[in-house]
Amino acid sequence: MPLDPIVAQLLELGRDLPKMHSLSVADARASMLARVEPLKPLAPADIETRDLVMETAAGGLPIRIYRPEGAAATLPVLLWLHGGGWVVGNIESHDGLCRLLAKEGPLLVVSVDYRLAPEARSPAQQQDAAAALTWTAGTIGTYGGDPEHIVIGGDSAGSNLAALAAIAAREAAGPRLAGQLLVYPVTDFPTDDRASYTQDGDYGLSKADMLWFWNHWLPDGSAADASTAPLRAKDLSGLPPAWVVTAEYDVLKDEGEAYVARLAAAGNRVEHECVPGMIHGFFSIAGMIPAASAAVQRAARWAATV
């Protein structure tokens, strides 16, 4: 279907802004925060938050816990890893989305401020995700979360880390996950073999942007492999149920769909929704677009009941 009219207007308003791959790392981070600033008033206000620092082998890892006001004493848990190409983004850039996910579940959301590249390259982010999962499984009951119902999730690069963490948890025989929520996931290195990377039009995220992200994240001289690209994993059997969201006008659509196919072929329970008329990043602008808000609601309720 055509672009959602509001999405089309937003793209037109941003047409003259510099592209992500043309910016310095510092400017790219500032640009992302500037873009979400106008969205803050749209986020649910009736959410209790608590900021903590989780101690890991690499040092303190900031996290923020979200709980809807008046919710049940014990809530299912969503461990959330933010998007931003492993280079940009933080707890604040995804605060509005985490508030919405918590409210719509209802869920106890744990948002992780993992280390960013290029200051910390792969596998630092995978290590932080694994540490956050171990902490959540062992500690979240103290904060009103159900340790028997933990879904790991994220958007874009965050869903890449979530998928990798689910594979790692299977290989290490724990912690047990109730599900994985993968929103427009990065599952492989950019390639022109996938039609979504060669579609006509500028929809906000390009192959050049993705190469910029990957080149900042991968250690110098290394190539993508199963440790960074979950689609390249040899064995995807025995993984938790997955809800995978893709967007019609997103360069990542085809690799997300390829991962859905691999998960299903390996015998996993997997549900896939390609949201028509949407672009990469649409979860973060859900408060402006009814169709996006509905997609976030469906995802959050799946995470709460899987």
CA-based angle 57:143:98, to the nearest 5?
80
Record the tokens describing residue 263, joined without a space.
């998960």
Record the tokens describing residue 153, joined without a space.
């999730």
Owner of token pair 């500690």 = 139
Which of the residues are catalytic? 156, 250, 280
Which residues neighbour 211 within 8 Å (Cβ) at sequence distance 6 or greater?
21, 190
Of the candidates 12, 14, 16, 42, which has an alpha carbon nearest to the alpha carbon of residue 289?
A: 42
Which residues neighbour 144 within 8 Å (Cβ) at sequence distance 6 or greater?
67, 73, 74, 75, 108
